[in-house]
Homo-oligomer: A and B are copies of this chain.
C-alpha cells in the first residue's frame, strides 16, 4: 500500500469519506426547544429553498430579508391562522448550519408547534433526524467533529466543571491541539511518499532526526491528552464513589449530612439519580456519584457478604472507595482487615473514622494508622452529629478525587471515542518510532504513519464514515 500524497496537495489525502447518509438537499424542520407548554417555542427549518417554502405560509414574504434579522409575521395553513410569530432569517453561510435557515419563534403551545411542523412538511420540508442540523454544520465546515460532539456535551452538562470542559472543546480546544500535531506529521508523510516514488534511488527527503523529533513530541502530546481522560471522564460523568463499611457504622448519618443541602437541587434534574442506590452531590462544580451497596452489605456481616463483589465492579471501573468505620463500636483491627479486602482493587481507598465525638483525637490516631496500614490513601476523623464536619467532609472528598480545577489552557479529553482514537494513535506512533530507529522498510513506516494520522483525523472528523457520523449524531436531541 502506498500513500498518494505529496506535501503540495495534502488535503486530498484524508478527505471526508462521507457522501450522504441523509439527503443534504432536503429542507429539514424540527422543534428546537424542549417539549411542553411554555411562553415561547422555537421551530427550526433549514435547507436550500427554505425562504421560498416559508413564504408560502406568509402574506408578506421574508425571502428578501437580510441575514440575522427578525420579522413579525402571521403564519397560515389551509385551515387558517396558525400563529403570529417572530421569524429569524439566517442566510447561507452565516447561520448555525451554514445553510439558509429560518427560526420561527411561536407561542409555546404544543398544538401550534405540531401544526406548524405539519404545515411545513406538507409544503415540502421533512422532519429532521436527531442531530441533523449540527451534522449539516459539520458537513458545511462550520464545526469540526470534536466541536460538533461538544455541542451535545454542552447541552447535557450539569455541573460547572463538565460545562467548562465542553465549552472548551466547543471552542476548538482539542481540535487546535490535534490539528497542530497532524499538520507536521502530514508534512513528513508527504516526504516519505516522495521517497517511495524514488525508491530505487534510496533518497531520504524526510530528515530522520527531524522526523524523530516530531514523532516523539507528538507521542508525548498524545500521551498527555490520554492522561487527562480519567479527569475528563470524571468531569463529564461525575466521580463514582462506592460507599462501604459495616452495618451501623454511621454511613447514613454521614451521607445525610453531606447531602442535606444538595438533595433538593439534584432532584430538579431529571435522570441524575440513576437508581435507588445512587445519590449525586456537586462539590465546587465537580459531581460525585455516591453509590450505596448497603442493601446487600447489611444482610450479614461476614466480609464476603459485605457486598464486596458488587463494590469490586465499580472499583474496576475507576470508582473511589469510601469506607466508614465506627470508631466507638468497632476496632482498628477489623478496619484493617476490611480494608485489605478492598485495597487490592483500587488506588482510591479513603476512610472516614466516624463518631470522633465519643473519642479523643489521640485515640483516632490509632485508627488512622490502621487505615494507612490497611491500604487507605487518606483518613478523616469526624462526627456525623457535627454539622461543621460537613464542609470538612466535602473538602476531603474533593481533595482525594484526583480532580484539579481546570486551568484555562488545559485541554481535557472527555469523550470515549477520542480516548480510543488517541490510544490507536499512540500505538501507531510507537511503531513508527521503532521503524525509524531500526531503519525498517519505508512501506511499513508509511503505513503506520498513515494509521496514526487517521486516528488523529478521526477525532476532528477529517477522516470519517457514515456509520461513525450516524452513531455520533443519533445521540443528539432532535432539533439540534
Binding site for B on A (CB under 8 A): 30-42, 44, 68-71, 79-81, 83-84, 86, 88, 90, 103, 105, 107-112, 115, 133, 151, 154-160, 163-164, 167, 170-171, 268-270, 408, 476-480
Smallest CB–CB gap between A478 and chain B, Å? 8
Let me know if A37 and B155 touch, CB within 8 A: yes
| Residue numbers in B under 8 Å from A40 (CB-CB) | 32-33, 42, 44, 479-480
Known: A68-B71, A109-B156, A110-B269. 9 other contacts (CB 8 A): A33-B42, A36-B270, A37-B477, A39-B476, A40-B42, A69-B69, A83-B167, A84-B170, A111-B163
| Residue numbers in B under 8 Å from A163 (CB-CB) | 109, 111-112, 115
| Residue numbers in B under 8 Å from A109 (CB-CB) | 154-158, 163
Interface of A is mostly: mixed
Q: Knowing A108-B480, A111-B163, say if A156 contacts B39 (CB, 8 Å).
A: no
Chain B residue with Cβ nearest A479: B39
Smallest CB–CB gap between A428 and chain B, Å? 34
Top 6 A-B pairs, shortest CB-CB distance: A39-B480, A34-B38, A34-B36, A39-B479, A33-B33, A68-B70
Let me know if B155 and A39 touch, CB within 8 A: yes
CB-contact partner of A41 in B33, B69, B270, under 8 A: B33
| Residue numbers in B under 8 Å from A167 (CB-CB) | 80-81, 83-84
Chain B residue with Cβ nearest A160: B79
Docked complex Cα distance between A171 and B86 (Å): 15
Let me know if A111 and B37 touch, CB within 8 A: no
| Residue numbers in B under 8 Å from A108 (CB-CB) | 32-34, 155, 477, 480
| Residue numbers in B under 8 Å from A88 (CB-CB) | 70, 86, 88
